Structure 1
Amino acid sequence: MKKNISIIGVPMDLGQMRRGVDMGPSAIRYAGVVERLERLHYDIDDLGDIEITRPKRGAIVGEENLKNLRDVSEASEKLAAKVDEVIKNGRFPLVLGGDHSIALGSLAGIAKHYQNLGVIWYDAHGDLNTAETSPSGNIHGMPLAASLGIGHKALTHIAGYSPKIKPENIVIIGARALDDGEKELIKEIGIKVYTMHEIDRLGMATVMEETIAYLKERTDGVHLSLDLDGLDPHDAPGVGTPVLGGISYRESHLAMEMLEEAKIITSAEFVEVNPILDDKNKTASVAVALMGSLFGEKLL
């Protein structure tokens, strides 16, 4: 991993309907992310937050079951440009969310720099919905599908190109709340998924060994998209869509430690921290602790 990290905050809450996740970047900074990574001898450049345009009061519906479509798309374009600039400057982009719709912009800015970008989607959800399959119309449930080129053009063509990633270069870890349309798509295009069943059965060490081996042989860079609701709500209560029976705090540390040892992660984002729903900033602190492990912090 590069020793120069640029932090980009994305105070986005328009991809879903529960307010508060826009304060996620501030909560993560308050939990000491800069200080933690500087102690690991990284050069940290905090670029501040992407400006998010607020829709007029009550204007939540975009079109075709896509809430806040225009505003999410505009924010994604801004983030894509910023991430692109960070990579051109030879630095590691670390993006702080914000809801998971921000992955639209992250992947758009990152993927143009790789022939075969790999993605680890660490999440309770698949985020593989479209306007046609989504039960809610919330765009934070669509970024992985859109990055595959599936969905509305305003989402699939962020930064002017599509697709950003290939289905065979994706590994979803921690899934336990998949909609019917997502299940069908996973089977149709062949995305590799480790549900909680596989994690329980195989153990996190085996899941990560297999994930790392799988991505190493087919990708030239790997983006980690970590949704805090991938963890069990007991360990990460401050998320908008908690799902019981998730990955434990210690399992998540092991996953991050193994990724650091493998040296395959070239960009990362941590999303869905909602301090309004949290307990004394616990979830933001968990996010920062996991970043510590991802960037080389050791127990001994």
Structure 2
Amino acid sequence: MNFVKTFVRNMSRKQLKNWEPLKKVGIIGVPFEKGQKKYGVSVAPAAVRSAGLIDQLKEIHGLDIKDYGDVEIPNRDEPVDVENMSHLPLVSAANKNLSVKVSQVLKEGRVAVTIGGDHSIGVGTVDGHYKVNEDMILIWVDAHADINTNKTSESGSVHGMPVALLVKELSDYWPYLPTMDWQVPQFSIKNLGYVGLRSVDEYERLAIEKYDVPAFAMEDIEEYGIKKSINHILQKLDPDGTKPIHVSFDIDSLDSLEAPSTGTSVRGGLTLREAIKLMEIIYATGRLRAIDLVEINPALGNDTDRKRTIEAGLCILKAGLGFSRRGTMPRGVLDLPVQTFHKSD
């Protein structure tokens, strides 16, 4: 019997009732790109909205959607004395504002859907979620582990560091970070799982192995399939099926052919069908409370590349919010209408 059936069988009726998927969604835009070096990800929230985000989500029956607009992004950088960590004050200020907004959306009983922006915004989304649900688990869907510190990063770009900034187990590996006093690392690496990895640095691999983080790289997904991979992670992180789930989805987890308009593309990634299945499985738990969609860069590639990448992102969001590929039956209709034809005289 697969994990989902076992999970449902072992849950009490009361628990199952408490974990029905939320039908209220809050959209947050984060036009921020200083966590990396390429122009373009800052326009992704506007591009995704323009591509029909709200209208497409309205296709999902019964979904209540509220767009909270974009978080405030500071425009003045200040020099700080932190080695190999670019634009730290801007990253910090943007994430502080985002954390407050994510907490607000969750407290209003909505799934927090955050559209980035680069993946440095994961600091704000996870911090904001943790402040509401301290027992949350985090599924990081990415080609990269994003668990470098400023000492191990080759680029100094903070979008490769958000996990290391968040987890309390690595807090001693950081120097004092001016402007980051608002964010205290409290999230445990024991509540983290990875999907889609295929470009992992040596020190990142060391951290993953040291803390026994469930990490399904592409070679593992090829061997076990996406269904067994995500079910294994869910079972390891939350065997009783009682914890809220946060999915931080980097579009570069998809293969370059599926999502070409992204800044750190790596060939050999997830197919869109695998990504949709992943999100459908997580939605079916009823516990999904936050989704980040990051690293879409409309400034890269041609019109076809941009359209393909944004459409892939929309498909991923819809799958996580209850869209059925099987189609849905109109409410109250049990049979197809039958039209009667009368032979004319």
2:320 is matched with 294
- How far apart are 1:92 and its partner, in Å? 1.5
How far does the alpha carbon of each residue in 1:225-281 deviate from its partner, in whole angstroms, 9 at most, with x for none?
000000001000011000011011111111111112222311111000000114242
State which drifts further: 42-51 or 137-146: 42-51
TM-score (norm 1): 0.93
Deviation at 1:147, TM superposition (A): 0.6
Is contact 2:111-2:288 (8 Å) kept? no
Counterpart position of 2:140: 121
1:215 aligns with 2:241: no
Report the equivalent of 1:93. 112
* Residue 161 (structure 1) shift: 2.7
SS in 2 for 1:2: coil
Distance 1:39 1:174, change over 3 A: same
Aligned to 1:256: 279
Question: Aligned partners of 1:228 and 1:191: how far apart in 2?
Answer: 21
Contact 1:146 1:152 in 2 (8 A): no
What amino acid does structure 2 have at the position aligned with 1:292? K
Give the partner amino acid of 2:24: N
Query: Could you tell me how far apart the structure 1 residues matched to 2:86 and 2:141 are?
Result: 24
Distance (Å, rounded) in 2 between the aligned partners of 1:292 and 1:106: 19
1:226 maps onto 2:280 in alignment: no
| Bigger Rg over Cα | 2
Matched to 2:262, the amino acid is V
Aligned length: 297
Correspondence for 1:189: 211
Shift of 1:212: 2.6
- Hey, what does 1:203 align to over in structure 2? 225
Counterpart of 1:190, as a letter, is: D
Gaps of 5+ in 1: none
Amino acid at match of 2:83: E
5+ residue gaps, structure 2, are 1-20, 327-345
Conserved in 1, the CA contact under 8 Å of 2:80 and 2:178?
Answer: no
> What per-residue deviation string (whole Å, max 9, x for no partner) do you get for residues 23-48 of structure 1?
11111112211111112121111111
| Mapped pair 1:273 → 2:296 | yes
Residues 82 and 177 of structure 2 are in contact (CA less than 8 Å); yes or no, is this contact kept in structure 1? no
Aligned to 1:285: 311
Alpha carbons 1:109, 1:159 under 8 Å: kept: no
Q: 1:152 to 1:241 in 2, by over 3 A?
A: farther
Q: 1:248 to 1:156 in 2, by over 3 A?
A: farther
- 1:84 partnered with 2:103: yes
Query: Structure 1's 154 and 104: CA in aligned 2 closer, same or farther, altered over 3 A?
Result: farther
Contact 2:37–2:157 at 8 Å: present in 1 too? yes
Moved more, 104-113 or 132-141: 104-113
CA distance in 1, matches of 2:76, 2:202: 31
- Contact 1:147–1:156 at 8 Å: present in 2 too? no
Deviation, 1:159, is: 4.0
RMSD between superposed Cα atoms in Å: 1.9
Task: Give the percent of matched residue pairs that are identical in Structure 1 and Structure 2.
Answer: 34
What residue is the counterpart of 1:240 in the other structure? 263
Among candidates 3, 20, 35, match of residue 55 of structure 2: 35
* Alignment match of 1:136 (pick from 155, 163, 168): 155
Change (3 A) 1:138 1:221: same
* Partner residue, 2:42: 22
Between the aligned partners of 2:288 and 2:92, the Cα distance in structure 1 is: 26
2:83 to 58, 64, 84: 64
